[in-house]
Amino acid sequence: MTAMELYAILPLLVLTAGIVLLMLQVAFFRSHNAAMMTTVTVLVTAILACLVVTGELRDTVSSLPATTMLLIDQQALFICVLLLLAAMAVAVLGHSYLRARQVVPSATDHPEAFYILLLLCLLGACTLVCASHFAIFFLALELISLALYPLLAFPLTGRAFQNDERGLAMESAIKYLLLSAIASALGLFGIALVYGATGALEFSAVAAAMSGQNVSAGLMQSGLALVLAAMAFKLSLVPFHLWTPDVYQGAPTPVTALIATVSKAAAVAILLRLMSVSGWSEASIIGSLLTLMAIASIVGGNLLALLQRDIKRLLAYSSIAHIGYLTVAFLINEQTLGGEAALYFLVAYVVTTLGAFAVISLVADNALSNGSTDPGEALAPFHIDYYTGLFWRSPLLGTCLAAMLLSLAGIPLTIGFIGKFYIFAAGVEGELWLVLGAVIVGSALGLFYYLRLLLTLFQRAPMPSVAGSSVLAIPVTGQLLLVLLSLTLLTLGVFPQPLINWLHALYT
């Protein structure tokens, strides 16, 4: 590789070096707090590297290719920064999660491994965002999955939340492993069909071949449909969503936040690149499949969310619906507006989802630390009724969760409203009336269960059986994280223009 190519992948090199450094640190010096600090340092350094490369792109060229496998442009770097910030939030939540469970270094339990696996997952996500070749596309997807498998069933030797917490975590890991393997096989088979039809694996070469006359349309479209199926699994689009509620419910809450944000944001990013670079818009089957999956995800996700009493399962179905909203941006022919709408909605989704899961994780950690979750407890800390009167027990947690719910519902003055409005505007531009009808119906359904949970937070008298009726003690790092996420939510909801201008500059 040339010096310029190495410079282009500087953020990826920082992450790789950080993983090696963290493994060496753990080998010679076992400390949970030290591992956490090293992880945050690596993430901050990677963010600075992204900003440095972004400055180079603005001053010289629009993109920096690194061999035929990777293409570093401003869109990729923007999403990488978003992923790095999300991973930093997950690291903070993971630290609180592990401390609450009194995980101590032993021969069988190493909390430092959480941070190594987190960085590995993040490396796969950032590599996927920068991919310009189907080979690195598949390898990056597998790196994300291989890091998530052990994270989903992260070992706990300390106190457990419920008697079946370990069992639920292991069950979620096995389900994700089996279904992810099937999705990977579909994707690999699709890539093989694309190669058979075009003789190329590089995205731009595939696009060039598709415009020719010697390409088998049936073979090509079948291959693209299988690749789309693999990506739909990562995004939890209907009908590839069945793993989502069980995995969200059983996984450690910080890992649930990781899957809901980093993994899905990376999948959205690579779909944006495939749509704009590889000529997917030339294959009519892709538009038809995406339309059907978007409508089914929006309506189905919101309808099923109405039936949930577990807050993590509710957010799982909510995420299915929100990815359905985002899919609208892929369906319009105007790539500039579609890209801007998708990225703004993605930022809104990541910020809001992180905030919601942060509150859930901190509430559960507090309940466990206080010993208020005996196996015979009537209400588990993930049951919606456990959040009765949360505002009166912890004004910060109650206010932040209320803000996140309002944003998810698309209420004005929140980032979620601007994101949903952007998506709706893109749909109007593309004349996607059927999908927009589903968006309106889904938004109306979402208002019901979001506001129902919102009212629960402010009920004055908690139920007598709720063990967490006392005031909640939240760590300083958790408080700071919630304040930052809430301020971001409100700032970009009231003053969206700076981010809109930034996103517009990415496509001009």
Who has greater pLDDT, 158 or 153? Answer: 153
User: Stretch 336-357: mean pLDDT, rounded?
Assistant: 92
- Residue 72 scores a pLDDT above 50: yes
**Which of 5-14, 59-68, 110-119, 148-157 has the least mean pLDDT?**
59-68
- Residue 224 scores a pLDDT above 90: no
Structure tokens at 468: 């967490």
At 368 the pLDDT is 72
- Residue 410 scores a pLDDT above 70: yes
Structure tokens at 129: 């965002």
Structure tokens at 277: 């670079």
Cis-peptide, bond into residue 245, ω within 30° of zero:
no
In the chain, how many domains are there?
1
At 304 the pLDDT is 94
Spatial CA neighbour of 205 closest among 218, 195, 193, 214: 195
31 assigned to some structural domain: no
- Residue 451 scores a pLDDT above 70: yes
Spatial CA neighbour of 326 closest among 234, 222, 448, 194: 234
Range of the domain at 302: 283-508
Helix or strand (DSSP H, E) at 71: strand 70-73
**Which of 86-90, 169-173, 308-312 has the least mean pLDDT?**
169-173
At 64 the pLDDT is 73
Structure tokens at 322: 């929100």
State the virtual CA torsion across 487, 478, 382, 35 in degrees, nearest 10: 130
User: Stretch 95-104: mean pLDDT, rounded?
Assistant: 74
DSSP 3-state percent helix, strand, coil across the chain (nearest 5): 75, 5, 20
Who has greater pLDDT, 89 or 476? Answer: 89
At 144 the pLDDT is 94
Structure tokens at 211: 């415009």
Torsion sign, CA atoms 358, 360, 365, 367: positive
At 210 the pLDDT is 75
Residue 464 pLDDT class (50, 70, 90 cuts): very low
439 assigned to some structural domain: yes
- What one-character-per-residue DSSP string does 41-52 give? HHHHHHHHHHHH
462 assigned to some structural domain: yes
At 468 the pLDDT is 46
- Using a CB cutoff of 8 Å and minimum separation of 24, what contacts does 32-36 make? 32/95, 32/98, 32/99, 32/103, 32/105, 32/111, 32/112, 33/95, 35/111, 35/112, 35/115, 36/91, 36/95, 36/115
At 107 the pLDDT is 44
165 assigned to some structural domain: no
276 assigned to some structural domain: no
pLDDT for 374-393, tens place per residue?
Answer: 444 434 788 888 888 888 88
Spatial CA neighbour of 123 closest among 270, 264, 273, 262: 262
Residue 61 pLDDT class (50, 70, 90 cuts): low
At 277 the pLDDT is 66
User: Stretch 233-260: mean pLDDT, rounded?
Assistant: 91
Q: Chain-wide mean pLDDT for the chain?
A: 85
Cα–Cα distances (Å) from 497 to 77, 282, 503, 505, in that order, read 20, 33, 10, 12
Residue whose pair of structure tokens reads 């209400």 in the numeric block: 379
> How far is 134 from 136, CA to CA, in rounded Å?
6
Who has greater pLDDT, 330 or 465? Answer: 330
Residue 168 pLDDT class (50, 70, 90 cuts): confident
Who has greater pLDDT, 123 or 156? Answer: 123
449 assigned to some structural domain: yes
- Residue 169 scores a pLDDT above 70: yes
Give me the percent of the chain exceeding a pLDDT of 70: 86
Helix or strand (DSSP H, E) at 65: strand 63-66
User: Stretch 99-125: mean pLDDT, rounded?
Assistant: 78
At 283 the pLDDT is 53
pLDDT for 351-374, tens place per residue?
Answer: 999 999 999 999 988 877 665 544
Residue 466 pLDDT class (50, 70, 90 cuts): very low
472 assigned to some structural domain: yes
- Residue 148 scores a pLDDT above 90: yes
At 86 the pLDDT is 96
Structure tokens at 400: 């932040």
> How far is 290 from 275, CA to CA, in rounded Å?
12
185 assigned to some structural domain: no
